[in-house]
A = this chain, B = another copy of it.
Amino acid sequence: MKYGIVIFPAKPLQDFVNSYRKRYDPHYTHIPPHITLKPGFDAENHQINDIVQKLHEVAQKTEPFDITITKFSSFKPVNNVIYLKIDPKDNLEYLHNEIDTKIPGHVSEYVYVPHITVGQQLTNDEHSDVFGSLQMLKVNMQDKVDRFHLLYQLENGSWTVYETFRLGKE
């Protein structure tokens, strides 16, 4: 089964992001706006209890922290993904690394950039148009991260939450 680990920002930020995702993100209906901590990975049913236990340990020793979002950014030329950049990234990087090293055989090979996807699978022209105008927008949103979630993917591509992990509380 395919699992993933994400943070859901608070409703005001999610509603803001969805106003763009509706038009620019084909995954709009598959999952609410989120910050990915660990992208989709395969795990067997018998491995999940162990993974859950390790995620509780990571959550327990991490205190809740604040994040700020001040601008739209893009992964182009790597891909045509437009996202909201999250600052500071150190707490999220820490969480990502802790989780990555605790789940054996699944260590990422890419540089982790904490973000909330706003648009993806855009053509070059769409990307240029959309990012051109979003880049001009001033954004100033704060949020507090106090939990993350383990999700699994259904056959239709949508995600269901399996369990919540509260930072510093477990």
- Closest chain-B Cβ to A59's Cβ sits at a distance in Å of 12
B-contacting 9-mer, from A75-83, A100-108, A124-132, A147-155: A147-155
B-contacting 9-mer, from A10-18, A66-74, A85-93, A112-120: A10-18
Q: How large is the interface on A (under 10, 10 to 19, 20 to 34, 35 or more residues)?
A: 20 to 34
Q: Which residues does A use to contact B, with CB under 8 Å?
A: 1, 8, 11, 14-15, 18, 22, 29, 32, 147, 149, 152, 154-156, 158-164, 166
Q: Are the CB atoms of B14 and A160 closer together than 8 Å?
A: yes
- Which of B1, B14, B15, B160 contacts A32, CB < 8 Å? B160
Q: Is the interface of A mostly helix, strand, loop or mixed?
A: mixed
Q: Are the CB atoms of A154 and B29 closer together than 8 Å?
A: no
Task: Give A160 to B1 CA distance when docked, in angstroms.
Answer: 21
Q: Which residue of B lies closest to A1 (CB)?
A: B11
Residues of B within 8 A of A162 (CB): 8, 164
Q: Are the CB atoms of B11 and A154 closer together than 8 Å?
A: yes
Task: Give A112 to B11 CA distance when docked, in angstroms.
Answer: 29
Task: Give A11 to B158 CA distance when docked, in angstroms.
Answer: 11
Of the listed residues A15, A22, A161, the one surrounded by the most CB atoms of chain B closer than 10 A to its CB is: A161
Q: Which residue of B lies closest to A2 (CB)?
A: B11
Task: Give A29 to B156 CA distance when docked, in angstroms.
Answer: 10
Q: Are the CB atoms of B160 and A8 closer together than 8 Å?
A: yes
Q: Which residue of B lies closest to A161 (CB)?
A: B161
Q: Are the CB atoms of A163 and B160 closer together than 8 Å?
A: no
- Which of B15, B32, B166 contacts A163, CB < 8 Å? B166
Known: A11-B152, A152-B11, A163-B147. Is A158-B1 also a contact (CB below 8 A)? Answer: no
